[in-house]
Structure 1
Amino acid sequence: MTAHFPVTPASNPPPSQANLLEARNLSKAYGPVTVLSDVSFDVPARSVVTLVGENGAGKSTVFNILSGLTRPDRGTITFAGQPFRPDSHRAAVRLGVTRVFQEQSLVHNVPVYENLLIGEEARYARFGQWVDRKAMVRAARRIVETAGLDVDVERRTGDYDFSTRQSIEIARACLTPTLIRGVGEPLILLDEPTSALDRRDEDTFFDLVREVRKYGSLLFVSHRMAEVLDISDVIYVLKDGALAARLRPDETDEHHLHGLMVGRERARDYYYEARQHRELPPRAGLRAEGIRAAAGASEVTLEVRPGEILGIGGLLDSGKSELGKAIAGVRAPVGGTVALKDGAPQAPDIRRSARAGLGYIPAERLVEGIIPAFPVAWNFSIGSGCDLFSTRAGFWRRGAERRAAHRHIEALAVRSARPETPMHRLSGGNQQKVVLARWLERRPEVLVLDNPTRGVDAGAKQEIYRVLRDLTDQGVAIVLITDELLELIGLSNRILIMQRGAVVADVPAPADAKPSEQDLVALMLPGAASSSEQVEITT
């Protein structure tokens, strides 16, 4: 592809006397698969540098090398003018490099202050016998106050919602190097930090980035091109394990970046809206009646027709993810029934629903979706162990499992994957494709998807959107729960808006008259709507 803007050759970053970190010719292979090839880049002092690229382009491998989780096969790194080759994550942290991982790494059943100061307990030990918890609480309060978080550090971490937990993790990575360890110029590695933040916490995050930038540097990975262009001083584009370009934000735009990442311009019909079904059959593919996801939640009744995508949106505390789990029977609801096609209404149960043709993809991939240490084939077949891949006598059909896994790896373009590859070797987006393949193999009639493209690059997102449209062409009914407003709008036939466990609006979203982001945000805010009557929106 011919670039539309001037590009500094990626292989030769300009020399600088003010680089906090310099990486030269980093290379890494796992067996026959090369994941990094002679990658060189700089992180200037007190700057925000962004790495962008498709899932599997090598971004996570760069972060793993910098955070001491893996060693490069070749290449050198200097940090603060000294050779940098940490042999563990703890060693990298001691030297001043901290990281926010793509998937949360907090311990839910301990207080917030213990998570903020995990690994720093020795600083608060007295006489080698006891820990001064009051001193830890004071230090933790200083961190959350500096970060602008409204958090009680003595409260159990798991009591907070997903977005607040992500903010806690970001605060830990950004502020403990300076406030606790006294590092003068830290480097913060941020791997998709905003993918789990709601809009309120995003503002706090960007304020924190601006504050940290006064004395430290940040290396940032994001698939949200708008925020990349807004926050970055320098952008490096990775493609197939090599650097494709080095750019300044004023030299590029979203479409150009997408073209550099995937080798083609982003399609204008990104959500395949032209394929959205206008005429739907009268019968329901799924009907949920009187579902109460939790005590205190309102009863929710909804139906989805074959070939329809019903979007569900709301703030992170709206209860939309809890509703998805209740409908699928992943978590038993307080009350209500679900019927699939012509089946009788029953209390939701994931085992029974899966056998009847329902699939479910969770939002928290590492916690609920995969077992990272197990191979791709096992993670793919885990939803079909009782029927598709075992005989009546209970013998495992390993050959059938391997052939099916290989077929889906090819069909979904799961990068750097073989059936025997451990899941933790795959990027987040490719892990998500394996989770999707798990249910595609079962030929579902209903799919409940909770943030199915979280942590997925623009090219892989478009592949997933194409698969969803293919499924609707086959008559699959889809419930799409997502925090991505454009995704919610672009894919859905109708959109339910939730507040605090109740559906407050039913918004039509035909292909030729989509609601705007502003329309939906207004409905998500408390007090914006009081009933689930259909909302007429002029577009």
Structure 2
Amino acid sequence: MSPHSQIPPAPTSVTPLFKAHGLTKSFGPNVILDGVEFEVPRKAIVTFVGENGAGKSTLFNLLSGIVAPDAGSMRLNGRDYRPHGYGEALRLGVSRVFQEQSLVGNVPVYENLLLGYEGRFTHAGQWLDRRAMIAAAEGIIEAAGIDVDVRRRTADYDFSKRQSIEIARACLATSHLGGIVEPFVLLDEPTSALDRRDEDAFFKLVTRIKGQGSLLFVSHRLTEVLAISDLIYVLKDGQLVARLDPATTDEKTLHGLMVGRERAADYYHERRQRPVTDGPALLGVRKLGRSGHFADVTLEVRPGEVVGIGGLLDSGKSALGKALAGVEPAEHGTVSFVSGPPEIPDIRSQVRKGLGYVPAERLTEGMIPAFSVAWNISLASGADLFAGPLGWWRRRRELATAARYAKEMSIRSATPAQRCARLSGGNQQKVVLARWLCRQPKLLVLDNPTRGVDAGAKEEIYRLIRDLTDQGVGVLLITDELLELIGLSDRILIMQRGSIVTEVAAPPDAKPTERELVTFMLPRSGTPGRSAVHQIPETLQ
């Protein structure tokens, strides 16, 4: 065990807000948590880090009452704590932001914010006082510092804003509505979907909540972990292997403890980036547009090239990715794929020609979690790879393919029959990638392919992208991670308000900086409150 794990708990006479002793949980023969012991001091931000599959989400499920431990005990505010369901945990003051969003999209924001508290706004047990609900929700939104109209339909807001709404609900509803004086908030990858403006509001909110209660935080962004935490625990293979003081540790140490090896100096495998030939383009896009999302987009992707697309969440980059894959068809302009005729693409023809698409929202757009690993991998190939000429299903081939990719891609705890809902976020993402790899694609459109993925799994995905480009596969990489965008791309296209505003070369020996890219992403100075100087994050100034 690392010497860092020998740091003793800070001596204190104050009872911690939360304490766990010997927590153990197994699913079948798989031991997910093995005797985990830790405590959360009062008015503190405590972070858990670990690889996907280390047991972090299962730990949060125990703490929030979704599943019960097989052994061990928990104490909240000095009292025994063993909730029977999330509703009871919420009443006791434990709230949670889930790794994947859990909002109801087709109802107003205020109904999502007050979900579970409707009884406080009823008359005679039948009639809801909607005015009172709206007023209460507006109080939560104002305290959270979010620019949201609570009467609007939740689905009308983008992914980042919906994530902010969910964070506000978890952090403030228990104290505003539940009468909890000292809340305990569980945050599972809360910032993975936030843009920079919403991140700023989130960190201000976290600081305010810390003045009242405590927060238990899971994040794969190690820089963020070090900046925000009062205490860091490292979980590996279901066991607690280290307790760290963030003031005396660094990213390299955290990475080594998490994955059992030091982070590679060439994390993005930039040394493998090779010059792109001037041959025919795999993908040619001409003046593509979709009202309200993007307009007059022209670009090319060549064999073996990684073309990165960066921009703020409202830049239109994700909508462009969907249009290129034919998921949401463009309204004008054309796309030529693999020397085919110019056309407006649809998903069926693109898949047949050799395109694969990994969406940003894994659980809602990328897979069916209730179905098996094998079923999700074969999802795009039911018409050819796994179906016989008379329509019979090649079940053996499907199972063998799923087993092969589970092994090759190190998808933990994944048998072909395993439901994807039981896998960690990073392993779910590998299943989505395997769906397209089994088709031997010519072009991949990847929208935030490492969102919610740990540092070790990210490196595996980066290596995979390099392997594909070595084989001549073209990659269109859409990502909110600036370092990922810079490290992997041959060229970077920056979008702003639906248009490509500049192209930045990114050869391995002359990569652009984060500051340079951020400056291009933001509207020019002169627009009130949106100047490039003021929008550049402090860490880049």
Give the TM-score normalised by the residue count of structure 1.
0.96
Pair 1:295–1:47, CA change in 2 (3 A): closer
Q: How does 1:77-96 map to 2 (within 5 A)?
A: 77-96=74-93
1:239 to 216, 236, 239: 236
| Deviation, structure 1 residue 71 | 1.0
Alignment partner, residue 188 of structure 2: 191
| Deviation, structure 1 residue 281 | 3.8
- Measure the CA separation in 1 of the matches of 2:170 and 2:5: 34
- Measure the CA separation in 2 of the matches of 1:219 and 1:511: 38
| Deviation, structure 1 residue 338 | 1.5
Mapped pair 1:71 → 2:81: no
Please state whether the residue corresponding to 1:456 is helix, strand or coil.
coil
Alignment partner, residue 352 of structure 2: 355
| Deviation, structure 1 residue 108 | 1.4
Q: How does 1:111-126 map to 2 (within 5 A)?
A: 111-126=108-123
Query: Mind listing any 5+ residue stretches in structure 2 that lack a counterpart?
Result: 527-541
Q: Judge conservation of contact 1:6–1:251 (CA < 8 Å) in 2.
A: no
1:133-174 CA deviation, whole Å, 9 max, x = no partner?
000010001001001111111111111111111111100000
- Measure the CA separation in 2 of the matches of 1:279 and 1:91: 58
| Deviation, structure 1 residue 336 | 2.0
| Deviation, structure 1 residue 7 | 3.3
- Measure the CA separation in 1 of the matches of 2:245 and 2:102: 32
Amino acid at match of 1:22: K
Give the TM-score normalised by the residue count of structure 2.
0.95
- Measure the CA separation in 1 of the matches of 2:288 and 2:15: 59
| Deviation, structure 1 residue 91 | 1.1
Amino acid at match of 1:8: I
- Measure the CA separation in 1 of the matches of 2:515 and 2:160: 21
1:237-285 CA deviation, whole Å, 9 max, x = no partner?
0001111100110121000000000000000100000111213242101
- Measure the CA separation in 1 of the matches of 2:56 and 2:13: 23
| Deviation, structure 1 residue 8 | 2.5
Q: How does 1:103-502 map to 2 (within 5 A)?
A: 103-295=100-292, 297-502=294-499
Alignment partner, residue 537 of structure 1: none
Alignment partner, residue 537 of structure 2: none
Please state whether the residue corresponding to 2:256 is helix, strand or coil.
helix
- Measure the CA separation in 2 of the matches of 1:147 and 1:353: 43
Q: Judge conservation of contact 1:13–1:41 (CA < 8 Å) in 2.
A: no
Q: Judge conservation of contact 1:495–1:507 (CA < 8 Å) in 2.
A: yes
| Deviation, structure 1 residue 297 | 3.1
Alignment partner, residue 513 of structure 2: 516
Please state whether the residue corresponding to 1:196 is helix, strand or coil.
coil
Q: Judge conservation of contact 2:290–2:332 (CA < 8 Å) in 1.
A: yes
2:55 to 50, 55, 58: 58
Q: Judge conservation of contact 2:2–2:242 (CA < 8 Å) in 1.
A: no
Amino acid at match of 1:519: E
Amino acid at match of 1:18: T
Stretch deviating more after TM superposition (379-388 or 15-24): 15-24
RMSD: 1.6
Amino acid at match of 1:431: Q
- Measure the CA separation in 2 of the matches of 1:501 and 1:224: 28
Stretch deviating more after TM superposition (280-289 or 247-256): 280-289
Amino acid at match of 2:64: S
Query: Mind listing any 5+ residue stretches in structure 1 that lack a counterpart?
Result: 530-539
How many residues are matched? 527
Amino acid at match of 1:119: G
- Measure the CA separation in 1 of the matches of 2:98 and 2:333: 37
| Deviation, structure 1 residue 346 | 1.9
Alignment partner, residue 534 of structure 1: none
- Measure the CA separation in 2 of the matches of 1:362 and 1:289: 22
